[in-house]
């Protein structure tokens, strides 16, 4: 008899249909029950009472607490800060998405943005607007130091690709856990962060959002960067204190910032970041989750769950990731 698995997601209808189809294809022996949280589409109460596994994407707060048999919550996103913000989240096993495709896509985006800053595209774009023909001195790849904050799956993939390209790369891990990333030194702790910032010609933030990392990139942190450094934020918007970043951009302490994530998304049209000459904005697209590859990774984790094997991406709620 098929095992019922709840897909609980607050997504537009086309995305909901794509995800449901991808999960059904990846879990052919299970029955996928899709629910947006709306009462008019609620599965029968008898089925909800039997749900032990829920796959979630932006689930409305409070709904998971209504599943008495729930034992596993599998996020379809790599980040779980939104889930952990729900005070009614049941004390069951929680796993975040571990998808190699997601890490590869993030590494590609990071490399693209780093190369854009390295080759001084923002400066040339400003010169074009002013009809100014002025070649700039161009450092070599080996002279442009890159620091990555956050050495999880995405950070390691990004560090490895940048290092293969020829950039000198340093990583920083807040947890201090041992990271095996060939040729990339990884620092940790407050002292390690100070060193990592001081040698970052380009700083890439890929940290998870936790109580400890909220507002980490503030005035003091930005002041530790070499003057004119570039910043790429593809972690979470709340990592950066926006007013401090704007002040650093205006003073020249930060040369240019590429921002893919924001405290409020979509970024409001009236937000001054849209028109700041020192900012490049992308709409949270550095590593969009692919439903088909994600569904396969989720299916593999659920298979481990049924087999009593260790899961990938189990969240430490105290740490926040």
- Residues with a catalytic annotation lie at 236, 284
Q: Which residues are within 8 A (CB) of 194 and not within 5 positions of it... i.e. 6 or more apart?
A: 224
Residue 62 CA to residue 37 CA, distance in Å, equals 10
> Angle of helix 153-165 relative to helix 100-118, nearest 10 degrees?
40
Nearest to 287 by CA among 145, 147, 112, 144: 112
Q: Sign of dihedral through CA atoms 263, 213, 205, 310?
A: negative
Tell the burial category of 165 from Cβ atoms under 10 Å away from its Cβ (0-12, 13-18, 19+): middle
Query: Are 230 and 254 a contacting pair, CB within 8 Å?
Result: yes
């Amino acid at each position: 008899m098929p095992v019922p698995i709840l897909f609980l997601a607050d997504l537009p209808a086309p995305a909901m249909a794509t995800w449901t189809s991808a999960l059904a294809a990846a879990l052919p022996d299970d029955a996928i029950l899709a629910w947006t949280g709306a009462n008019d589409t609620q599965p029968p109460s008898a089925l909800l009472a039997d749900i032990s596994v829920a796959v979630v994407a932006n689930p409305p707060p409070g709904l998971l607490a209504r599943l008495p048999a729930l034992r596993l919550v599998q996020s379809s996103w790599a980040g779980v800060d939104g889930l952990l913000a729900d005070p009614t989240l049941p004390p069951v096993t929680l796993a975040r998405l571990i998808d190699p495709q997601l890490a590869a896509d993030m590494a590609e985006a990071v490399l693209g943005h780093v190369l854009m800053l390295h080759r001084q595209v923002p400066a040339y774009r400003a010169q074009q607007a002013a009809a100014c023909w002025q070649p700039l001195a161009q450092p070599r790849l080996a002279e442009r130091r890159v620091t990555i904050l956050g050495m999880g799956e995405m950070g390691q993939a990004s560090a490895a690709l940048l290092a293969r390209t020829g950039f000198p790369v340093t990583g920083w891990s807040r947890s201090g856990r041992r990271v095996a990333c060939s040729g990339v030194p990884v620092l940790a702790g407050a002292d390690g962060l100070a060193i990592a910032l001081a040698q970052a010609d380009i700083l890439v933030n890929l940290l998870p959002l936790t109580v400890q990392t909220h507002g980490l990139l503030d005035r003091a942190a930005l002041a530790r960067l070499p003057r004119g450094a570039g910043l790429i934020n593809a972690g979470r918007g709340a990592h950066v204190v926006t007013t401090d970043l704007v002040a650093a951009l205006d003073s020249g302490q930060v040369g240019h910032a590429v921002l893919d994530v924001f405290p409020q998304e979509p970024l409001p049209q009236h937000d001054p970041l849209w028109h700041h000459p020192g900012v490049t904005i992308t709409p949270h697209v550095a590593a969009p989750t692919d439903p088909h590859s994600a569904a396969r990774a989720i299916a593999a984790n659920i298979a481990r769950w049924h087999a009593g094997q260790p899961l990938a991406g189990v969240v430490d709620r105290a740490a926040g990731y």
